[in-house]
Amino acid sequence: MMTDDDIDRLAEGFLACALPKECWTHQAHFATALWLILTRPDVHPERDLPDMIRRYNASVGGVNSDTSGYHETITQASLRMARHMLAGLDVHPSPAQALARLMASPLADKDWPLAYWSRDRLMSVEARRSWVAPDIRPLPT
């Protein structure tokens, strides 16, 4: 289980493009998103996180293309689901508390979007470049 200090270091390393590539896991994506939502009122994740991810990917030798790297639909869907989870809590959690709650949910599975999108639609160039609505069932609101 990650602590608040672990999440601070991870998110700050991501922002500084100093996080080792192998540390940028599914859990790290959500930890960083939650950290931004909960601790950085100066950042609007839905607007700012895409460029942050693209910059980070490039810094570790990744390519943001039609087939790899940044994925707009998954990023925006993940932010929506993180906010949905936070809205359902009775208290304002710390990043570590929020991450523990999220990782105890179906969102812990990196394939969670496939409950909402068909694989072909989710992996399309269109979905990678821009928001594409789910084709199986809508995201919770």
Q: What is the pTM of this model?
A: 0.96
- Sorted by where each begins, the domain ranges of the chain are 4-129
Q: What contacts 129, CB < 8 A, 6 or more positions away?
A: 66, 72
| Residue 21 CB neighbours (<10 A) | 11
| Cβ count within 10 A of residue 102 | 22
Q: Express each pLDDT in 2-53 by its tens digit.
A: 999 999 999 999 999 999 999 999 999 999 999 999 999 999 999 999 999 9
| Residue with the two structure tokens 């929506």 | 80
